[in-house]
Structure 1
């Protein structure tokens, strides 16, 4: 397995690590800034390696069919881990979470069908913009998680919550728009076969 694919696999492994670290305070009944920092380290590792693995694969001419499948799968695993956690604790509206879940599972299904036909579905501009807002939303959700340590000002917390919900809303709209774009690509690809 080459370096870019190894980084992608590490992202898959670190998603449950994020989940465990995020939920320890809820299960154990305690929280600490150290744990919060660890959650951020894992989150940043996942997000940064998402950028690095693709860059390295292209730069070092190590793009593989396995990587084309693993990378989007890793994205889905990590982002769904974040969003389910945020929805359960009330940081993300459950409707946003469900729409994103359905979209991601739909894309996985489309990718599987196209892979059987020997077609790789590359991310379009809409999908890339959606990914940026997924990352921003996850960062904002993590910010909401630890906001109580940094500010007990109700107005600040309400404003941050409003901004966070706005980012999740934009991410959800972009998820739907990019899903429609992928459906159009899928339909064309199937017709050409």
Structure 2
């Protein structure tokens, strides 16, 4: 496996690791104050591999049609895993990711991956566009903001303006939904003709 693809594969490996570290305290009540202190660096490194795979693919001339499919697939696996986690908290009744937002984002991501597969079958590799890259950046900001709130809760750091902080994460995820569909429309405009040929 090429080095760039190894970095991409790292995101797929770290997704279930982050999931387990996030949920073990919820399932068992153990490690509540420490699991996220391990999980967050794992997620940071996993997200950083998104830069590394692109960097080394260009540096070692490893850019390939497979990589153009594998990279966004790994992104979806990692981000949807993090979003599922953020629909839950160690404190019952608290959620940082509204279920409706998650479903809308999930449908968009699955549709986008389907478009990529159809395009690949037609001999066209769909690379990331600026709108898609911006969407990914906002995904990362929203997920880390939500995880920070959960960390504060697990560490018993709940300020008086906690309600405002929670509204902030809802707003961020709302922006994620808007950007995800705006970028998907952009992809359809530029590559939608591929669907007419099937």
> TM-score normalised by the shorter chain: which range applies?
over 0.9
Moved more, 44-53 or 58-67: 58-67
Measure, in 1, the Cα distance between the counterparts of 2:40 and 2:175: 23
User: 2: CA distance between counterparts of 1:192 and 1:152?
Assistant: 55
Q: How big is the shift at 1:145?
A: 1.0
User: Which residue number in structure 2 is paired with residue 79 of structure 1?
Assistant: 79
Is 1:185 the counterpart of 2:178 in the alignment?
no
Whether contact under 8 Å (2:122, 2:194) holds in the other structure is no
1:121 aligns with 2:126: yes
> Structure 1: how far apart are the matches of 2:166 and 2:102?
16
RMSD: 1.6
Specify every segment of 5 or more residues in structure 1 that has no aligned partner in the other structure, as ranges. none
Question: Could you tell me which residue of structure 2 aligns to residue 141 of structure 1?
Answer: 146
TM-score (norm 1): 0.93
Deviations 1:158-182 (A, max 9, x none): 2221221111111110001011111
* Greater helix proportion: 1
TM (normalized to structure 2)?
Answer: 0.91
> How far off is 1:104 after superposition?
0.2
Q: Partners of 2:100 and 2:195 in 1: how far apart?
A: 31
Instruction: State the aligned residue count.
Output: 192
The DSSP-based 3-state class of the residue aligned with 1:118 is coil
| 1:112 paired to 2:108 | no
* Unmatched 5+ stretches in structure 2: 90-94
> Counterpart in 1 of 2:33?
33
Deviations 1:71-113 (A, max 9, x none): 0110010001011121244111111111100000000110110
**Alignment correspondent of 1:163:** 168
CA distance in structure 2 between the aligned counterparts of 1:31 and 1:140, rounded to whole angstroms: 21
Moved over 6 A (4+): none
Residue in 1 aligned with 2:92?
none
